[in-house]
Amino acid sequence: MFKYNIESNQLLSNNGKINLILKGWAFHTEKPINIKVIDGKGKKHEYKLQKSRRNDVFRHFENNNNALESGMILEINSIHKNIKKIMVVFLDEQENILGEHIVDIKKLNLEGFNSKISYKNLEKVFRSVKNDGIRLTYNKIINKFNNVGTGNLEQEIIEPYFFIDESYQYEPSENHNIILIINSTNNISKDYYLQTIKSIKNQQIKTIINVYSPTNEKLVLEYNDLLKNCTNIKCEKILSTNDDLLKFIKSNDLDSRDAYYIILTSGDCLASSTLGRVQEALDHNNAKIITFNEDRILREDYIAPLYKEDAINQKRNKNVIFRKALVIHQSVIEDYLENKINISDIHTINNVLYHYRISKNSNKLSNVKPIAFYLPQYHAIPENDEWWGKGFTEWTNVTKGESLFEGHYQPHVPSELGYYNLVEDKSIQYKQIELAKEYGIHGFCYYYYWFNGKRLLEKPLDNLLADKGLDFPFCICWANETWSRRWDGQEKEILIKQEHNEETDTNFIEDVIPILKDERYIKIDGAPLLLIYRSELFPDLDGTIKKWKKICRENGINKLHVSLVQSFGLTDPNIYGGDSAVEFPPHGVITGEISKTMPNLVKEFGGSIFDYRDVVARYVNKRPDNYKIFRGTMLSWDNTARRGANSNIFNYANPEEYSKWLTGIIDYTTNFNDDEYQYVFINAWNEWAEGTHLEPDEKYGTEYLQKTKDSLYSNY
């Protein structure tokens, strides 16, 4: 039996030609498969084939383990632009045709083009021309077309969905010995514990073991009568992981022969369909371990973890596969603890069965390290005096903020640190670092303004470099764009021009080498982390990065990690030779414009207003990319202080919504990024004129900082 499924098509431009990338799977139960690619004229095309593991496919072939390797990414490069169709032919060893898949290049190109020139996008273009000028708008459009591929792909990457607690009744064909183990050793509030108990009561599970710590003894015993058939077992320590819980069960002879265990942490809830779905799976599969595809709940304190199948396919790490939801047979507990589980022993239930609540009183610190972008424009410089008026700093803009509609939060007024001066106030950087450390910020990423040897706003960073008492990790982001009388670096009424050529770019890396050598500088696997803000401005960034790394080696820096900020249309850092990408919202955000819904909006408003909550819903569910990425978030975004009635505003932002976003990207980073990539970026520490700042203000105080700290703790 032969089956295949092409799940996505992507077209990319390549020097006047086209690259086609197909993703999906193909499998024959009895024969190996060969592939031939031909165009509409019968001409053969070379291709690259990358195989991948697909845990979701083998159930279509009666759990044939060979189907686990059926995933494929087929890359067909340098297709002439006149080619209208490409045919992928699946063959057996005797060249017999098993199946054919036809890609209509012309139609696919047109669909992608139409999605980009829709009426809504044309409105955005006109608005961008008005606010940003023609040149910057043109650059945005070109990068959008070059990097995104088809419009369909864009929607496929970010696909939010919400939890539905379905009721599912199933009568099992045989008696499965199912035991529920509750881990109540974590620090849990009464309200959360009762939510857990309530969800269990609906399951009709015959045997329950509740493992609790002395801290929770009073709580567990007080509500013991709510659960029938429950045995309470005291444990003197906190069991932070499933591994710890299973070891405790084994060491205390609590495991029952031929039993399946459902593991649940207090503070988590079982959906009402859980027991029925598990019993059905046990009737029809020989799996010893069952996992669930899980959902995220974007309200209150609920937030669930990740895409199970993505985790299984990407890396065979048991802590990834089993961390949140687990049904495990007694006979394989030891194999599980020793990481010897075969993937054929795992069955994934596609329905949402289980959701996870982040507890406010949680206890395990994440390994993820937040880095906050740091703006140094809080002191006067001669250039700004000349261009914008004597004594100009970022605070000059901030105080101009005015409310544009009912409920609009403007102006943003600092509280604890006040309207500080980064040069005149000799203690301010100490205060900032002390505050950042208190709330779990790992380091700052300083914007670095360098124009062919001329630096601007350099004093705060220079002060950090000179004062080892400012003991705080840092890195730099080269803000390599032209300064003009309009913000956002468009080349109109130029104040100071950013030029990129071989000489200037070489001078840059030579100038920053002493900074990269600082012992406080943030490193990725031993390589100093250098961010580039606008990759598209380099004539040959790939070649430039290679030269930079060579110069670094010659100057005692063995490795350099160049990370490209996802701004102005950049998606894939591999296009420019970067080592990784950094998410940088609001750049790249996909959401609808809602200005027409704002009450009492000023008549002269010519900007854009978006729903921050919708952005959170989309971005916490972003699937893994095929390149290295540091996830990023923003607290809010509102540049009314800079642009007045032509501003971009993300309304409905608040600390709770920010917490969901940050928790989501921390969870993503924990589960999908390698150990040396355990960083997330926050926009920003002090972007007051853009309305996104961790520093305390009069409205929220330290709430954003507290949410940041809370998000670093989890009950994984």
Q: Give 178-229 as a 3 state SS string.
A: EEEEEEECCCCCHHHHHHHHHHHHCCCCCEEEEEECHHHHHHHHHCHHHCCC
Could you give phi then psi for residue 299, rounded to 5 degrees?
-160, 150
Cis bond upstream, residue 586 (ω within 30): yes
Could you give phi then psi for residue 365, rounded to 5 degrees?
-75, 130
Distance CA 164, CA 273 (A): 10
- CB of 573 within 8 A of CB of 580? yes
Strand-strand pairing, 178-184 and 97-104? unpaired
The SS3 of residue 638 is strand
Closest by alpha carbon to 614, among 583, 631, 589, 591? 591
| pLDDT of the residue at 253 | 82
Closest by alpha carbon to 246, among 161, 321, 336, 156? 336
| pLDDT of the residue at 294 | 57
| pLDDT of the residue at 137 | 59
Name the one residue in this structure whose structure tokens are 């104040």: 495
The SS3 of residue 292 is strand
Beta-carbon contacts of 154 under 8 Å, excluding residues fewer than 6 positions away, are 115, 148, 590
What torsion, rounded to 10 degrees, do the Cα atoms 404, 566, 368, 519 define? -110
| pLDDT of the residue at 404 | 97
Question: Tell me, what DSSP letter sits at residue 338?
Answer: T
- CB of 305 within 8 A of CB of 323? yes
What torsion, rounded to 10 degrees, do the Cα atoms 313, 318, 319, 320 define? 10
Q: Give kind and range of the element (H or E) at residue 312.
A: helix 308-314
Closest by alpha carbon to 298, among 341, 355, 225? 355
Distance CA 226, CA 239 (A): 23
| pLDDT of the residue at 145 | 46
Q: Could you tell me the mean pLDDT of each successive run of 10 residues in the chain, 716 residues long? A: 84 76 88 90 88 67 74 87 88 90 79 50 60 56 43 36 65 90 88 87 88 94 91 91 87 86 85 86 86 55 46 45 69 84 76 53 73 98 95 96 96 97 97 98 98 97 98 98 69 84 96 98 98 95 97 98 91 90 91 90 94 85 82 97 95 92 87 91 98 98 96 65
- CB of 667 within 8 A of CB of 423? no
Name the one residue in this structure whose structure tokens are 């609920």: 302
Which amino acid, 368? V
- CB of 393 within 8 A of CB of 378? yes
